[in-house]
Amino acid sequence: MQDSRVATRGLVLLGCGKMGSAMLAGWLEAGLPASAVWVVEPNPSDWLVGTGVDLSGTLPEAPAVVLVAVKPQMMAEALPLLKPMGNGDTLFISVAAGITLAAFEEILGAQTPIVRAMPNTPAAISQGITAIVGNNAASAQHLAEAEALLQAVGEVVHVTDEGQIDAVTGVSGSGPAYVFHMIETLAQAGQAQGLDAETAMRLAKATVAGAGALAMTSEETPEQLRINVTSPNGTTQAALEVLMDESTGFPSLMARAVKAAADRSRELANG
């Protein structure tokens, strides 16, 4: 990253909350000089001040990249500040939920290379996954540049159509909340069977974390891993008969949950 276009011409980070801070930490750790970063953040944290990035509010005329990480409701106020950078070769990357490529083009110009990204909260520990899609002005090089920057907080996948971002939101964008709720309910179920609250929660957290790590590292599919741990007429099979019930179990429940999140994402995008 030290020899990249970003290091030479600079990067503007618009918004430095949890997601922006996670990405900035990853870039700096990867070798991006603090002197190459300008941050627009009305309430900078002590950590941000200590990084040495430029917080003066005076921005470069043509940075290599502008990464937009403000909340969607702040977008209308924030983006016009960057309009002079549009219709050039400055790449805009947005991690703001529900803001479409067309909405950015209306403000920045249709010739502006724009990449829309949907990360998730495990980015805070560099274990996130981000889906990206570009507008017509975004070249393969622009997409590669966006991927390189977003890899600072985890994996990156490409989708071929912007409409797929809504499905991504339902699966990975909102997905961590589903897993956190599963941990909650698994621990509560353990308590109901006689465990104390602390032990139940430790067991639930470690089980979900360990199973996820095994799924990520194993050459076997999650389906096969499930089969491996399920003895005929055993305890796991008894539980799975409840969880895999077509009308009340995970298949139906998860499909409805992901659809609800994706539908809400579409509503946000349509105003």
Tell whether residue 14 is among the known ligand binding residues.
Answer: yes
Answer with the one of 121, 140, 162 that is the final residue of a domain.
Answer: 162
192-208 confidence digits (pLDDT tens): 999 999 999 999 999 99
Can you give the pLDDT at residue 271? Answer: 67
Tell whether residue 205 is among the known ligand binding residues.
Answer: no
Rounded Cα distance between 108 and 135, Å, is 12
Tell whether residue 170 is among the known ligand binding residues.
Answer: no
Number of domains present in the structure of the chain = 2
Residue pointed to by tokens 């949950």: 257
The percentage of residues in the chain with a pLDDT greater than 70, rounded to a whole number, is 98
210 and 149 in one domain? no
Greatest mean pLDDT range, 11-20, 61-70, 222-231: 222-231
CA angle 66-70-74, nearest 5°? 120
Tell whether residue 16 is among the known ligand binding residues.
Answer: yes
133-144 confidence digits (pLDDT tens): 999 999 999 999
Rounded Cα distance between 186 and 34, Å, is 43
Would residue 167 count as lying in a domain?
no
pTM of the complete model: 0.89
220 and 103 in one domain? no
Tell whether residue 15 is among the known ligand binding residues.
Answer: yes
Confidence of residue 1 (pLDDT cuts 50, 70, 90): low
Angle subtended by helix axes 18-29 and 140-150, to nearest 10: 100
Rounded Cα distance between 226 and 229, Å, is 6
Across the range 28-42, mean pLDDT stands at 92
Can you give the pLDDT at residue 42? Answer: 86
Strand order in the sheet with 11-14: 37-40, 11-14, 65-68, 91-94, 114-118, 128-134, 154-158
Confidence of residue 270 (pLDDT cuts 50, 70, 90): confident
CA angle 242-245-248, nearest 5°? 90
187 and 156 in one domain? no
| SS3 assignment for the chain | CCCCHHHHHCEEEECCCHHHHHHHHHHHHCCCCHHHEEEECCCCCHHHHHCCCECCCCCCCCCCEEEECCCHHHHHHHHHHHHHHCCCCCEEEECCCCCCHHHHHHHHCCCCCEEEEECCHHHHHCCEEEEEEECCCCCHHHHHHHHHHHHHHEEEEECCCCCHHHHHHHHHHCHHHHHHHHHHHHHHHHHHCCCCHHHHHHHHHHHHHHHHHHHHHCCCCHHHHHHHCCCCCCHHHHHHHHHCCCCCCHHHHHHHHHHHHHHHHHHHHCC
83 and 156 in one domain? yes
Confidence of residue 101 (pLDDT cuts 50, 70, 90): very high
Can you give the pLDDT at residue 240? Answer: 97
Tell me the residue range of the domain where 106 lies: 5-162
18 and 125 in one domain? yes
Answer with the one of 106, 138, 162 that is the final residue of a domain.
Answer: 162
Would residue 168 count as lying in a domain?
no
Tell whether residue 18 is among the known ligand binding residues.
Answer: yes
Tell whether residue 71 is among the known ligand binding residues.
Answer: yes
Tell whether residue 50 is among the known ligand binding residues.
Answer: no
Tell whether residue 70 is among the known ligand binding residues.
Answer: yes
Res. 162: pLDDT tops 90: yes
Can you give the pLDDT at residue 9? Answer: 92
Tell whether residue 86 is among the known ligand binding residues.
Answer: no
